[in-house]
């Protein structure tokens, strides 16, 4: 019986040792799994951070392009306004010049008309002067 007790005690010790080894192996597996999970989490965080940085860079680039496009458009608008103003001024000068030219033509026409009327009067007077002595004969 004592032999059996020793054998049972040896079995208990062996089972305890097996249990301790299994528990240690399980704890190692849990630690390994936690380490792997932490590595994966770190990688996910790094990826998210890199994507966030890339997104911010792209936003900044888009904003820069928008500002450049707006500045270009504003410059073009200013140039077009200057061109419109210059064309308006030129049109007004041409219109004013045309009005002056028309007035000059009218003035010249009135002068010629006055000369022609004076010539007609002079010729009438000459005709009347020539006709009057002949009528008196």
Tokens of 123: 């010729």
Tokens of 109: 């026409």
Provide the number of structural domains found in the chain.
1
pLDDT in tens, 92-101: 887 777 777 8
Q: What 8-state DSSP symbol labels residue 136?
A: H
Q: What 8-state DSSP symbol labels residue 1?
A: -
Residue 102 vs residues 67, 92, 94, 110, 137: alpha-carbon distances, Å: 52, 15, 12, 12, 52
Question: What is the distance between the alpha carbons of residues 57 and 65, in angstroms, rounded to a whole number?
Answer: 12
Determine the structural domain holding residue 40 and report its residue range: 1-96
Q: Please report whether residue 133 resides in a domain.
A: no
| Averaged pLDDT for residues 39-56 | 96
| 3-state secondary structure (DSSP) of residue 51 | helix
Question: What is the distance between the alpha carbons of residues 84 and 91, in angstroms, rounded to a whole number?
Answer: 10
The overall pTM is greater than 0.85 = no
Most distant pair of Cα atoms in the chain: their distance: 198
Q: Please report whether residue 10 resides in a domain.
A: yes
Confidence of residue 129 (pLDDT cuts 50, 70, 90): confident
DSSP codes, 86-129:
HHHHHHHHHHHHHHHHHHHHHHHHHHHHHHHHHHHHHHHHHHHH
| Confidence (pLDDT) at 73 | 95
Q: Please report whether residue 33 resides in a domain.
A: yes
Tokens of 65: 């392009």
pLDDT in tens, 69-119: 999 999 999 999 999 999 999 888 877 777 778 888 888 889 899 999 999
């Amino acid at each position: 019986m004592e032999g059996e007790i020793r054998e049972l005690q040896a079995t208990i010790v062996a089972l305890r040792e097996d249990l301790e080894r299994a528990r240690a192996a399980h704890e190692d597996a849990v630690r390994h799994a936690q380490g792997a999970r932490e590595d994966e989490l770190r990688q996910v965080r790094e990826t998210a951070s890199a994507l966030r940085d890339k997104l911010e860079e792209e936003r900044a680039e888009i904003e820069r392009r928008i500002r450049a496009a707006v500045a270009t458009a504003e410059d073009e608008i200013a140039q077009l306004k200057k061109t419109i103003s210059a064309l308006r001024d030129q049109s007004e000068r041409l219109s004013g010049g045309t009005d002056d030219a028309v007035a000059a033509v009218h003035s010249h026409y009135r002068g010629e008309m006055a000369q022609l009327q004076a010539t007609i009067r002079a010729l009438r007077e000459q005709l009347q002067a020539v006709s009057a002595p002949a009528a008196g004969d």
